[in-house]
Amino acid sequence: MSDKLDGLWAAAKAELDVATTKDAVEAVRVKYTGKKGALSAILGGMGKLAPEERKALGEQANKVKAQLEAALEQAAVRLEEAALEAELAGAKLDVTLPGRHVRLGRRHPVSQTLDDIVATFARLGFDVAQGPEIELDWFNFEALNVPADHPARDMQDTFYVDAQWLAKGVGPTVLRTHTSPVQIRTMLAQKPPVRAVMPGRVYRKDSDQTHTPMFHQVEGLYVDRHVTFAELKGTLDAFAKAFFGAKAKTRFRPSFFPFTEPSAEVDVSCVFCGGKGCRVCKQSGWIEVLGSGLVHPNVLKHASYDPAEVTGFAFGMGIERLTMLRYGIDDLRTMFENDARFLAQF
C-alpha cells in the first residue's frame, strides 16, 4: 500500500506538470483527492491492516495529501501568472499617448465678485449678515418706509408669493426685490452699533437684454452714534478703489430711495476709458454702480432704534453688473447660461 501511495503522488505530480488549463488542474484534484478519488480508495482499505502498519501508512497518506494540495495550489498560481503574461503580451499599450484631460470646475465669476466684495468690506470692519429670499412684505417694503400705496413700489416689479401666506396670518409675502430687508432683520437682532454687509439673491419681474428675474446684490449698513454722509463717501470711495483699482474715482449724484434721506447714486470713473468718454459710458466718463444714502429715521424706528440717538448709512449694489464691468463682459445673459467654455475664462 505504501508503494501505491508513492505511485499515486508520482502520477498526480506528472499530470499536474503538463496541465495547461484550470479545468485540467481541477480534474487532477477530483481524480486524486476527491471523495471518490484515488487517495480515498487507498485509505478505505486501511481498516484491514494491523494497528502498527495503519499508523505508518496514515502518516504517509497525510504527507502525500499535503504534498498534493501544495502542488495543486502551485499549478493554479502558475496558470494565473501565465494568463496574465499572455494578456500583457497581447495588449497594445502606447505609453506615449497624452493623458485624458480632467476639467476642473471653477467658481462662477458672480461668486468670485461677491466673495471679493464681502472680503473688501470685511477689511473695513463689516460683518456679514443674511436673510430669507422669501420675505414678508413688511420687511421688504413697510419697514423700509414704503407703505402699501406708495408709488415707489412700482420702481421694483414684485413677485408676490401665493395668498396662502395671508391665510396663515403672516401677511403678504414676496420674493425679496432687494437685500434692503436684511437691514431691518439685522438691526432687530442686535443693538447698535451695527456694521454689516448682506449678500444674496433678489427677484424682480423683469427680463430683457439688461435685466434678469433673479440677480445678486450686496447691501451695506452702518449705524452708530454720529455716522455721517462723509463716512459713507469715504467708505464707498475706498471700496471703489479696492475693487476697480487705485485710479478709480467716485461721484455722488442726488437721487431718491424711500429708505434713505438724503439719497445718492454713486458713479465710478469709467473702467473702460478711464473717464475720457467711450461707448460703454455713453461719452460721460462715468458709470453708475450703486445706490446709497443716510438711513431714513422711519427705518430706524421700525427697527426699534432711536433716530435721536443714532444715525447710519446704507448702500446696495448689483453684483452681475459689477462683474460685467470688472471683466469687460457686455452681455448679461452670459452670466446665467452656464456655458463651461465661457466660465472657464475667469
Binding site for ligand PHE (CB under 6 A): 178, 180, 219, 257, 260, 291-293, 314-316
Smallest distance from ligand PHE to CB 277, Å: 26
Report the SS3 class of residue 149. Answer: coil
Smallest distance from ligand PHE to CB 339, Å: 28
Smallest distance from ligand PHE to CB 197, Å: 11
Smallest distance from ligand PHE to CB 232, Å: 10
Closer residue to ligand PHE (CB): 23 or 154: 154
Closer residue to ligand PHE (CB): 9 or 239: 239
Smallest distance from ligand PHE to CB 294, Å: 9
Alpha carbon distances (Å) from 211 to 76, 204, 257, 267: 72, 9, 20, 19
Question: How big is the CA angle at 280 (ends 278 and 282), to the nearest 5 degrees?
Answer: 65
DSSP state, 210?
Answer: T
Smallest distance from ligand PHE to CB 292, Å: 5
Residue 245 region by backbone torsions, left for phi larger than 0, else alpha for psi between -120 and 50, else beta: left
Report the SS3 class of residue 320. Answer: helix
CA distance 65 to 73: 12
- For 31, phi and psi rounded to 5 degrees? -60, -40
Closer residue to ligand PHE (CB): 9 or 222: 222
Rg, C-alpha atoms of the chain: 41
Smallest distance from ligand PHE to CB 317, Å: 8
Closer residue to ligand PHE (CB): 203 or 257: 257
Closer residue to ligand PHE (CB): 142 or 219: 219
What are 295's three cell numbers? Answer: 438711513
Closer residue to ligand PHE (CB): 198 or 271: 198
Most distant pair of Cα atoms in the chain: their distance:
121
What are 14's three cell numbers? Answer: 506528472
Closer residue to ligand PHE (CB): 113 or 180: 180
Closer residue to ligand PHE (CB): 12 or 182: 182
Smallest distance from ligand PHE to CB 264, Å: 8
- The single-letter code of the amino acid at 267 is D
CA distance 205 to 179: 16
Report the DSSP pairing between strands 127-128 and 194-203.
parallel
**Torsion sign across C-alpha atoms 210, 212, 215, 220:** positive
Strand partners, 265: 253, 291
Report the SS3 class of residue 163. Answer: coil
Strand partners, 288: 267
* Closest residue to ligand PHE: CB criterion: 316
CA distance 188 to 190: 6
Closer residue to ligand PHE (CB): 32 or 315: 315
Smallest distance from ligand PHE to CB 342, Å: 27
Closest CA to 137 of 168, 164, 159: 159
